[in-house]
Structure 1
Amino acid sequence: MIPPSAQYLEDISDNIDEVNKLKASRAWDEASDFDNNKDKTKFRQYEEACDRVKAFYKEQHEKQTVEFNLKVRASFKKTVRARMGIWEAMELLNTLVDQSDPDTSVSQIEHLLQTAEAIRRDGKPEWMQVAGLVHDLGKLLHIFGSEGQWDVVGDTFVVGCKFSEKNIYPESFKGNPDFRDPVYSTEHGVYKPHCGLDNVMLSWGHDEYLYHVLRNQSSLPEEALYMIRYHSFYPWHREDAYMHLTNANDQRALEAVRAFNPYDLYSKSDDPIDPEKVKPYYQALIAKFFPEIIEW
């Protein structure tokens, strides 16, 4: 019997390695494990939130009008605010403290790494780990010169139709000019029933901004882009609001965001992470999904 060649054995070894990688990578939509022992009653406690959080939402709800959203989207298409890589963007974002978040005051880079590491520990695909790593980079808008945090952070909602009672602090929408508009205040507003989320205008913020930045500047799959675009759309993916505007195509997006949300929300109580220790691993992942330089 002729012994197998060294190349043949090497090929078998490589194939075994690939099979082992596939076994170790869980499907993106399998239920998360890491948060099983989390006390979930401690998160998103807006009724007990400090005055800073309540004041933020009052301003956001009063200023996110249809007119503003049309203006800011037109500006987005004309402006490149910076050119830099993903890790550099993470380091730049680290100077921001999110005024809308009642759950944590940790740095932005630490939250991104906590999210990504929770996804990684659960054995989810690399693209989902990367989605966790970058999901809040749209908050760079505040550093680039937004009008305030009210057009960058906070929960997302639909503009151009009646504001849902399932939004956080729904009474504060009464100060929004659209609240009493004869068209914008109706159930469907300017939209057709079940027109789909691609055809409605969400309040402008870091989710929507980052989605538009990355959809043509990354190789992320569609599910990752859903996670980025809708992760702050809590009235929809947590409270089932705005379902009268969604269609069958939005079901995949809903599944993706609900799979992602536990890692974003409940990882905020995890232990601190040293960025330098995990930097080589995530830089290698970044190189797989993004160009060296992103236009922001």
Structure 2
Amino acid sequence: MAPHATDLTPVYEDSADISSTKQKSAAAALEAISDAVDSVNQLRGAISSPQRSHCDTPIDAPPGFTPARDVETFRQYHHACERVKHFYAEQHAKQTVAYNLKARAHFHSASRVRPEMTIWQAIEKLDTLVDDSDPDTELSQAQHLLQSAEAIRKDGKPRWMQLTGLLHDLGKLMFLLPGCSSGQWDVVGDTFPVGCKFDELCIFPDKFEANPDSKHEVYSTKYGIYEPRCGMDDLMMSWGHDEFLYLVLRDQSTLPREALAMIRYHSFYPWHKEGAYREFMAEGDEELLTAVRSFNPYDLYSKGDEVPNVEKLKPYYLELIDEFFPNKVIKW
């Protein structure tokens, strides 16, 4: 298990004095990196779902849609590659146990001011992250989330999975909240456990050489601070929008465990795509892995040029939100 973090006091820059122009520019840069990372994951190949009948629309039934475009046209890999390499060099160097303990201590701190807003207000706030320089789409974040949700809905998947499609990127709000992030490197990108050896199946594994934990007497070992088959829930995942949203929703929604896994692990490509870190899986984790793999195509490949009609779809999703969120106002 991870060391206790309550006695650690994080030090963050106060972002309250950042001008709206600078914040918009930083947000656009964040989305550019996020899109570039997604393009690499698209080029690494789609997740193969078990071939099952659509008659009962199980969550692992193959998606009923095909990508709107050839995945290789979503940004050019060779143009994005250097930017992605620079991003992962910073991310891999800075995602340490110490930093992750600080981030969680800050998140759970009683002194942290937690903005309160509904899910739909959060979606509208996330729209400020739209990137005007993105060549793949001119859609807002709300429209991207609706594309994912609508693709799941059209395939007849469970209502909780439809809602998960709508929610899955809301963790990017951490970039707009004071003290919840230190840059792009702890918001987006592939995720991985900290506190144990960085697996060679992580993207750009050589970039971990700059991380001091890679030479730590405990953290650099295969199991590190964990035990074999401890269960995926016990891993301390690298800090980012997946983990942030997971922590927000875990105690404030009635979403099932599979939905929370889709949110927490949708960027955990070393696990759900490459097969790494399976030594930590316990009973019940295979179901979580199936859930995450089933969700992945709706995240990566639902992006297209058809613009969702937000106002037309809003009543349906407001009802869906109310079904799984007993408290209408969420503490972020």
TM range (shorter): 0.7 to 0.9
Tell me, yes or no, if the aligned pair for 1:59 and 1:150 is still in contact at 8 Å.
yes
Query: Quick check: 34-43 or 185-194, which moved more?
Result: 34-43
Tell me, yes or no, if the aligned pair for 1:139 and 1:206 is still in contact at 8 Å.
yes
Aligned pairs (5 A) from 1:134-213:
134-145=167-178, 146-213=181-248
1:124 maps to a residue whose letter is K
Offset of residue 89 of structure 1: 0.1
> Which residue pairs with 2:95 in the alignment?
64
Question: How far, CA to CA, are the matches of 1:129 and 1:264 in structure 2?
Answer: 12
**Residue 169 to residue 42, structure 1, CA distance change in 2 (3 Å):** farther
Offset of residue 39 of structure 1: 3.6
Instruction: Count how many residue pairs are aligned between Structure 1 and Structure 2.
Output: 272
Tell me, yes or no, if the aligned pair for 2:67 and 2:302 is still in contact at 8 Å.
no
**Over aligned residues, Cα RMSD in angstroms?**
2.5
Tell me the alpha carbon deviations over residues 52-98 of structure 1, each in whole angstroms, 9 at most, x when there is no partner: 33322221111110000111111111234210000100010112258
Whether 2:328 is the aligned partner of 1:292: answer: yes
Question: How far, CA to CA, are the matches of 1:275 and 1:55 in structure 2?
Answer: 36
**Residue 166 to residue 105, structure 1, CA distance change in 2 (3 Å):** farther
> Which residue pairs with 1:3 in the alignment?
none
> Which residue pairs with 1:85 in the alignment?
118
**Residue 68 to residue 103, structure 1, CA distance change in 2 (3 Å):** farther
**In percent, how many aligned pairs have the same letter?**
60
Offset of residue 43 of structure 1: 6.5
1:81 maps to a residue whose letter is R
Tell me, yes or no, if the aligned pair for 1:207 and 1:228 is still in contact at 8 Å.
yes
> Which residue pairs with 2:48 in the alignment?
none
> Which residue pairs with 1:231 in the alignment?
266
Offset of residue 243 of structure 1: 1.0
Offset of residue 248 of structure 1: 2.5
Tell me, yes or no, if the aligned pair for 2:67 and 2:303 is still in contact at 8 Å.
no
Tell me the alpha carbon deviations over residues 230-283 of structure 1, each in whole angstroms, 9 at most, x when there is no partner: 111111001101112222221111011011111011112352223222112211
Question: How far, CA to CA, are the matches of 1:235 and 1:120 in structure 2?
Answer: 28
**Normalization by structure 1: what TM-score?**
0.84
> Which residue pairs with 1:49 in the alignment?
80
2:167 maps to a residue whose letter is V
2:145 maps to which of 104, 109, 112: 112
Gaps of 5+ in 2: 1-53
Aligned pairs (5 A) from 1:8-47:
26-35=57-66, 39-40=70-71
> Which residue pairs with 2:107 in the alignment?
76
Query: Quick check: 124-133 or 24-33, which moved more?
Result: 24-33
Question: How far, CA to CA, are the matches of 2:282 and 2:162 in structure 1?
Answer: 28
Gaps of 5+ in 1: 1-22
Query: Quick check: 34-43 or 208-217, which moved more?
Result: 34-43
Larger radius of gyration: 1
Question: How far, CA to CA, are the matches of 1:106 and 1:246 in structure 2?
Answer: 37
2:307 maps to a residue whose letter is P
Tell me, yes or no, if the aligned pair for 2:67 and 2:301 is still in contact at 8 Å.
no
Tell me, yes or no, if the aligned pair for 1:50 and 1:102 is still in contact at 8 Å.
no
Give secondary structure in 1 for the equivalent of 2:303. helix
> Which residue pairs with 2:31 in the alignment?
none
**Residue 24 to residue 84, structure 1, CA distance change in 2 (3 Å):** farther
**Residue 30 to residue 152, structure 1, CA distance change in 2 (3 Å):** same
Question: How far, CA to CA, are the matches of 1:286 and 1:197 in structure 2?
Answer: 27
**Normalization by structure 2: what TM-score?**
0.75
Offset of residue 173 of structure 1: 1.2
2:197 maps to a residue whose letter is K
Query: Quick check: 51-60 or 150-159, which moved more?
Result: 51-60
